Amino acid sequence: MKKCVVIFSGGQDSTTCLFWAKKEFDVVEAISFDYKQRHSLELECAKKICQKNGVKHTILDMELLNQLAPNSLTRSDIEVDEKSSEGVPNSFVEGRNLLFLTFGAIYAKVNKINHIITGVSQSDYSGYPDCRDIFIKSTNVTLNLAMDYDFVIHTPLMWIDKKETWKLADDLGVLDIVKNETLTCYNGIIGDGCGKCPACELRRRGYDEYMKTKGAC
Ligand code: ZN
């Protein structure tokens, strides 16, 4: 039996990955992290999606991330600014994916799981260094050495953009679930979101582009 664990936030990308995993693996579990993110609603979305789709879901407390790296996604008193002059937007949480993958890997090993799925994408990485393929490959090697175990990190979205991520959701037959039940919006509005924040803009642009190509064929 092929088992995997999905690093799951309840957003568009990781939800698409969850359904990708359900197609590829016999047993799918999901793990989410509570770092007192600005919108705890994100975790509620994650919980509901798992419940509805029969996925075992574990939420780990990661509040220390908030203590260490105050940021627009973790603190409600910091405005989200995607276009920071210092290269990386202030929605970047330092070290987040490294920590998530490390804790995800510990969970996986304890539960005799080898495969870890994460929804990072180098195509849409907005300057986040820990969304790059080289980071994932290097972390995979490090985790294997750290725990003397054969982890395989899967990144189904690594080389596709938002438009293609919508296509993947559609191909998996879950376009409506991803469109209506996930939370990506920085203002905490489920589904189509506020329409104005950078996350909504990216999501909406991808959706419109995909719908255009779909209508064309
Ligand atoms: Zn929004």
Whole-number Å distance, alpha carbon 126 to ligand 1 midpoint, is 16
- Say what the pLDDT of residue 67 is: 77
C-alpha 60/C-alpha 7 separation (Å) is 11
Q: Which residues of the chain have pLDDT under 50?
A: 84-85
Query: What pLDDT score was predicted for residue 84?
Result: 46
Inter-residue contact 33 to 103 (CB < 8 Å): yes
Q: Are 165 and 206 in contact (CB under 8 A)?
A: yes
**How many A from CA of 155 to the centre of ligand 1?**
25
pLDDT at 22: 98
pLDDT given at position 80: 58
CB 65 within 8 A of CB 96: yes
For ligand 1, the distance from its centroid to the CA atom of residue 203, given in whole angstroms, is 9
What is the 200 CA–ligand 1 centroid distance (Å)?
A: 4
Could you tell me the distance, in angstroms and rounded to a whole number, from the CA of residue 82 to the centre of ligand 1? 12
3-state secondary structure of 58: strand
CA-CA distances (angstroms) from residue 62 to 22, 120, 148?
26, 19, 25
pLDDT of residue 100: 95
| 54 CA to centre of ligand 1 in angstroms | 28
- Tell how far the Cα of 212 is from the centroid of ligand 1, in angstroms: 22
Instruction: Tell me how far the alpha carbon of residue 115 lies from the centroid of ligand 1, in angstroms.
Output: 32
**Where would I find the beta strands (DSSP E) of 120-196?**
152-154
What's the burial of 101, exposed, middle or buried (CB within 10 Å: 0-12/13-18/19+)? buried
- Global pTM reads 0.90
Q: Give which of 216, 108, 213, 125 is closest to 164, Cα–Cα.
A: 213
Q: Where are the domains of the chain?
A: 3-161
CA of 145 to the centre of ligand 1 (A): 40
Distance 199 CA to ligand 1 centre (A): 6
Distance in Å, CA 185 to ligand 1 centroid: 4
In CATH, what number does 3-161 get?
A: 3.40.50.620
**For residue 114, how far is its CA from the centre of ligand 1 (angstroms)?**
35
